[in-house]
Amino acid sequence: MKRTVFLFVFFHFWVNGVLLAQNGAQDLFNTKCGICHTIGKGKLVGPDLAGVQDRHPQEWLLNFVRSSQKMIASGDSAALALFEQNNKVVMPDPMISDAEIESVLAYILENSAAGAGAVAYTSIIDGATPEDFENGRQLFEGRVRFANAGPSCITCHNGLAKTFFNDNSFSVKDLSTSFANLGEQGVRAILENPPFPVMKQAFTGKNLTEAEVHDLLVFLKKSGGSGAQAKMPSGLLLFGLLGAGALVLLYSALWYSRKSRSVNHGIYKRQIKSLN
Ligand code: HEC
Ligand code: HEC
């Protein structure tokens, strides 16, 4: 009995190992990394990984892929520099085994040479019209609904949201610099296949259509400007300020009633009195 269990377990690992070596690495790369990285086809959300083995030692790569944030927190200078250069976009932990990480790294190494010199990205928004921009704005602000019922961008990407929700569990970026930092290719990849857990979940089964992606790109590019001194459209700013004002009032009200038990008590007493 014991022996059969042993053989079964052994066989299981053996089969897994063989499968992993064959297709596993490519699948793993495509599902876990390919949303944000290419090998030799240019930057997406993260850097092009072609030749990454020439840039870092193997041990560093293993640690970084296992948990980039842990490494950044530990103060590793190469990791910190990359994080800064990439606009502090968080690379999530892939939640795969060390063996799997090694197989993915081997896959990247194998394909680094093949991918080099690949075709450059061609813009899909050249020749966009003012109507496209306006439609993009309305989609972003939720004035026009998405065909597949996805949530409007402004529910999470309010220019001022960062000040209020900036804790680690839910930090939402001001998008005014995204276009300058990520380029059209990077922003497009995010819209077509959001890599950030919160945003991904919000759009699961509610993909943006090709036309919506197009118009949103036009809007984000124009309203982002060069990225240095980006201006959001004034309507958006006003909306943000009103929202901020409402939140300040809300929070002070919540804080007030929580802090001052005696006030509640006073109200309670008044109510009891008026009942009598
Ligand atoms: C959500 C997008 C995202 C995913 C998914 C992702 N990465 Fe990254 N990756 C980044 C970003 C952004 C950086 C730049 C460093 C930073 O911002 O932390 C990066 C940096 C790297 C680097 C260092 C690159 C260099 O030029 O030195 C390696 C190596 C890497 N990623 C490998 C992987 C592997 C392997 C996977 C899949 C298991 C993966 N990444 C999944 C976004 C991602
Ligand atoms: C449910 C909330 C939510 C919605 C709705 C949402 N996003 Fe996001 N988005 C996020 C989060 C969270 C991030 C990651 C931000 C971070 O890394 O700090 C993000 C990141 C981004 C980024 C990358 C920002 C950067 O510069 O690194 C872009 C671009 C973006 N979103 C565009 C959009 C657009 C366009 C829409 C509307 C179609 C949208 N998002 C809707 C939550 C959301």
Atom 34 of ligand 1, nearest CA residue? 33
| 52 CA from centroid of ligand 1 (Å) | 10
Q: Which ligand is nearest to the CA of 230?
A: 2
CB 175 within 8 A of CB 157: yes
Q: By C-alpha distance, which of 132, 141, 274, 152 is closest to 214? A: 132
**pLDDT tens digits, one per residue of 245-275:** 777 777 766 666 555 555 566 667 777 766 6
Distance CA 158, CA 141 (A): 9
* Residue ID of nearest Cα to ligand 1 atom 2: 36
Cα–Cα distance for residue pair 102/117, rounded to 1 Å: 25
Q: What percent of the chain is modeled with pLDDT above 70?
A: 68
Ligand number with the minimum distance to the CA of 212:
2
Nearest-atom index, ligand 2, CA of 153: 37
> What is the CA(153)–ligand 2 centre distance, in A?
7
CA 141, 203, 64: angle at the middle one, nearest 5?
A: 110
pLDDT digits (tens, 9 = 90+) for 126-167: 889 999 999 999 999 899 999 999 999 988 887 533 334 433
Ligand 2 centroid vs 68 CA: distance in angstroms?
A: 20
For residue 191 and ligand 2, the question of a CB distance below 6 A is answered with yes
| pLDDT for position 235 | 54
Q: Are 40 and 112 in contact (CB under 8 A)?
A: yes
pLDDT of residue 245: 72
Number of Cβ atoms within 10 Å of the Cβ of 179: 22
Which ligand 2 atom is at minimum distance from the Cα of 182? 26
Burial (CB count <10 Å: 0-12, 13-18, 19+), residue 107: buried
Contacts of 247 by beta carbon, 8 Å cutoff, 6+ apart:
164
Give the Å distance between the CA of 173 and the centre of ligand 2: 7
Ligand found nearest the CA of 54: 1
Give the confidence band of 46 by pLDDT, cuts at 50, 70, 90: very high
Which residue lies with its CA nearest to atom 23 of ligand 2? 178
Percent of the chain with pLDDT over 90: 38
Q: Is 151 in the pocket of ligand 2 (CB under 6 A)?
A: yes
Measure Cα distances from 105 to 17, 30, 226 in Å: 16, 13, 35
Please give the pLDDT value at position 41. 87
Q: How far apart are CA 8 and CA 137, in angstroms?
A: 58
Residue 107 has pLDDT above 70, yes or no: yes
Say how many Å lie between the CA of residue 157 and the centre of ligand 2. Answer: 6
Check if 50 has its Cβ closer than 6 Å to any atom of ligand 1.
Answer: no
- Residue whose C-alpha is closest to residue 184's, from 50, 83, 49, 42: 42
Q: Is the dihedral of CA 171, 175, 177, 179 positive or negative?
A: positive
Mean pLDDT, residues 195-205 taken together: 87
For residues 140, 218, 213 and 155, what is the CA-based torsion angle, rounded to 10 degrees?
Answer: -20
Q: Which atom of ligand 1 is nearest to the CA of 35?
A: 5
